[in-house]
Structure 1
Amino acid sequence: MELKFFDTISELDQYAAQLFATTLANKPHAALGLATGSTPVGIYGKIIEMYQRGEISFRDATTFNLDEYVGLPPEHDQSYAYYMKQHLFAHIDLPGKQAHLPKGTAPDLAAECKEYDRMLEEQPVDIQLLGLGHNGHIGFNEPNGELQGGTHIVELKEETREANARFFGSLDEVPKQAVTMGVGSILKARTVLLVVKGADKAEIVKRALTGPITTECPASLLQTHANVIVLLDKEAGRLL
């Protein structure tokens, strides 16, 4: 596990964006694992700037997002499909048919999960971007006595819904379920890029990276991966 600490968020975001650029330079048809939430916004901004300068192209790439809310159509302004369009896809040359997210409105969610796993098996992810939840979740894999390896439907914990309520009008509007890549799928990525920002994440960073490996802290399972890069601002990494 490689840990890197940054004095500024801008430097962190630029470093992360450069890792994606390098991946594509070495392998233009790479599969990129993408995340949502507040953490990646700056990274996507730097990637867009690189694209606009002609330094990076997504024409031959494929993307796989970690998760999507159950019940939110792609045009809903809090769906992750909408988020990705707003923050990245509308600004780069990635063909729409090469951008994949779980479909939270699929009529048969179990079949949707199986199809997503089939695509991931067919084209393994080269670099997977992850944020870190306050309770240690990665994707929407919540702390539990046991975790599912493949893509699955998850009941969101109240603390996760409360953390995401700031994006909605109220807590009642936050979906109670999501479709998420499983930890097993995440761990199959050739490189995992974990990005954490903010003093409020310092405790869970320490627990995830140095504590016992347990499904009660899903991010701790990243300790078993052979190639994890962790990018931290000073506040998030202050306890390491």
Structure 2
Amino acid sequence: MEQQPVLVFLRGLIRSRFHWLDFPQRFGNRYRVLTPELAGNGFRYNEPTPASIREMMEDVRRQVRSQTEQPISIVAVSMGAMIAAEWARCYPMEVRELHLINTSLANMSSPWERMTALSFFRLLACFGNRPRLERTIFELTINRPVTSTETQPWLTFAQQHPLSWRNVFGQLIAASRYKGPLTAPVDHVVFYNAAQDRLVRPLCTARIATNWKKPLITHPNAGHDLPADEPEWLENALKQHLLDLK
């Protein structure tokens, strides 16, 4: 019997697998879907986050490898895309394809391009106030109007799974230092970005796509959190480019 292909979803900075909501399950009729949780985030909030992107990659890799030995496809956002790129660099035979969303690398973009100064100071101003941090993340990463019906579960989840500020700053530092591959670590890579991303400048993703000589698909007015801002658009774009759905 032919094995079902495996699709792994990786979230970004201080985000949990919870924040995918039902998005991964949109691919469940064709793939075995896995959503590992990075130590320090979400359901693992009481664990220390690893100190580097390499160590974060090993953390999520152990979770996935405990469930499958098959080569995997990865869909990843922001810092999650850095983790995915490192996985493909270190273990290219384990990764069939990469679909990388609104990301950046320290060796291809400047710090003020990778996180705008205004966004950084707005996040810093939330120190010690988790609900305020969550609301600020909504404002910085989602451009469409968001209703209280949508935001309340996220606020409740944040209160029930409180992040430590040590982990928050640790992830910021690790992401800011990460220098990714200069060329594509695997053959099949597709990039997705949002032209109106207010957290990370869209050109950061575009530069990686150019250097890696891989396609870039751009949403004209979405924000940084493409899966939450424009899930239908992203679903359709992925389904056009995933190897098992082409």
Establish whether TM, by shorter chain, passes 0.5.
no
What is the TM-score normalised by the length of structure 2? 0.28
Tell me the TM-score normalised to structure 1 length: 0.28
The structure carrying a bigger strand percent of its residues is 1
Which structure is higher in helix share?
2
